[in-house]
Amino acid sequence: MSEQRTFPCPGCGSMLEFDPALQQLHCPACGNATPIPADQDAVIMEYPLEEAERNASTDWSADTATVTCGGCGTQTVVPADSGTTECPFCGSRQLIRDEKSSTIRPESLLPFKIAKEDAKARFKTWIGKKWFAPNTARKTSRADRVNGVYVPYWTYDAQTDYTYSAEAGTYYYVTEYRTRTDSSGKQTREAVQVRKTRWHPVFGSGNRFFDDIPVNASKNENRRQMEKIRDFAFDGLIPYRPEYLLGFMAERYGVHVREGFDMACETMRNALTQDVRSAVIADEVRNIRLDVRYGNVRFKHLLAPVWISSFRFRNKPYQFVVNGQTGTVQGEYPISPWKIVFLVLFILFVILGAFLLLSLLPT
């Protein structure tokens, strides 16, 4: 690792931060803006999966340090001279510098596009649209402790070749006779066309190339919420530089690269299953069985921007997350029991009204 560097403001010497609105380094003290130098030689590498630990770089640069939270155990990467005092995920202040940690360095990242104040405003809009939330929560809730975190992702490329077996169903119709009794008690027989399905086995093979299948590599408790805001545009990836971490933190992956590939395989198998369902000419397809072979598997490690925060309502915390690139918001919020009761009563009233209206219609 090279000699440790810091990023002082050329105007006043204060520590610079990355500004999502400017897409430059910004000094919060004097307002000076400094462009991030472009590295013309930087290439976003993808590595063969079998060489994951051997060839992938583990050097996040000497401008960063690793911090382990004593509360939730999450490892995050921060600028080397950062004054970070609490975990962005659980709020714990039990932070320990970890000089021995060695993990695969990200090859690329998606820089923050949404600024902190914009994230707060999007939260207000989001919570304001939650009809089932108490009115007080919708009008007065404020985001607390908004933290910008780069979340780890793996992406995988793979050439798949597969064979399949399935059952194809073709519809046909038969005439059945049923007895119908009218309101006067008179019985009549009527012919009814009943649909049946004739099943037969089918077999086949195919291939498909998958490019950049994303897998969230976080094991943090916020993962479930972050999975709901994964509408990242990965075509906006740029080569990793530590300057983009200034003012933010980056979570180290908790899902190993090989474990992530198993998760990517599940995504690919689901896609191939749909391919088979579309390829078989039939009215229905069931019991699809796949035998998939994965070749030329490559991966890369990247960081995606997320704002993490919470708000309190009646002394209970509710967490939410904001996609730092697109602004999508997801999270938890309180539910008003009175609004649930009102909705149930309204539905019952509509059903009762419809029943009474039908009963008054002439037979």
Residues 287, 107: Cα–Cα separation, whole Å? 41
Residues 15, 73: Cα–Cα separation, whole Å? 28
Residues 191, 206: Cα–Cα separation, whole Å? 45
Q: Is residue 175 part of a domain?
A: no
Q: Is residue 197 part of a domain?
A: no
CA–CA–CA angle 237, 107, 298 (5° rounding): 95
Provide the CB-side half-sphere exposure for 297 (13 A, CA). 20
Q: Is residue 118 part of a domain?
A: yes
Q: Is residue 209 part of a domain?
A: yes
What does the H/E/C string look like for 103-150?
CCCCCEECCCCCCHHHHHHHHHHHHHCCCCCCHHHHHHCCCEEEEEEE
Q: Is residue 72 part of a domain?
A: yes
Who wins on pLDDT, 363 or 254?
Answer: 254
Residue 7 scores a pLDDT above 90: no
The one-character DSSP state at 8 is B
Residues 254, 236: Cα–Cα separation, whole Å? 24
**Identity at 13, one-letter amino acid code:** G
Residue 71 scores a pLDDT above 70: no
Q: Give residues with Cβ within 8 angstroms of 140, minimum separation 6.
A: none
Number of domains observed in the structure of the chain? 1
CA 227 to chain centre: 3
Instruction: Tell me what pLDDT residue 95 has.
Output: 60
Residue 61 scores a pLDDT above 60: no
> Domain containing 239: what range?
17-164+202-341
Residue 360 scores a pLDDT above 50: yes
Residues 119, 149: Cα–Cα separation, whole Å? 13
Give the 3-state secondary structure of residue 12.
coil
What confidence tens digit (pLDDT) does each residue in 99-155 have?
555 678 888 999 999 999 999 999 999 999 998 898 898 888 888 888 899 999 999
What confidence tens digit (pLDDT) does each residue in 269-300 have?
999 999 999 999 999 999 999 999 999 999 99
Q: Is residue 184 part of a domain?
A: no
Q: Is residue 69 part of a domain?
A: yes
Instruction: Tell me what pLDDT residue 91 has.
Output: 64
| Chain mean pLDDT for the chain | 85
Q: Is residue 193 part of a domain?
A: no
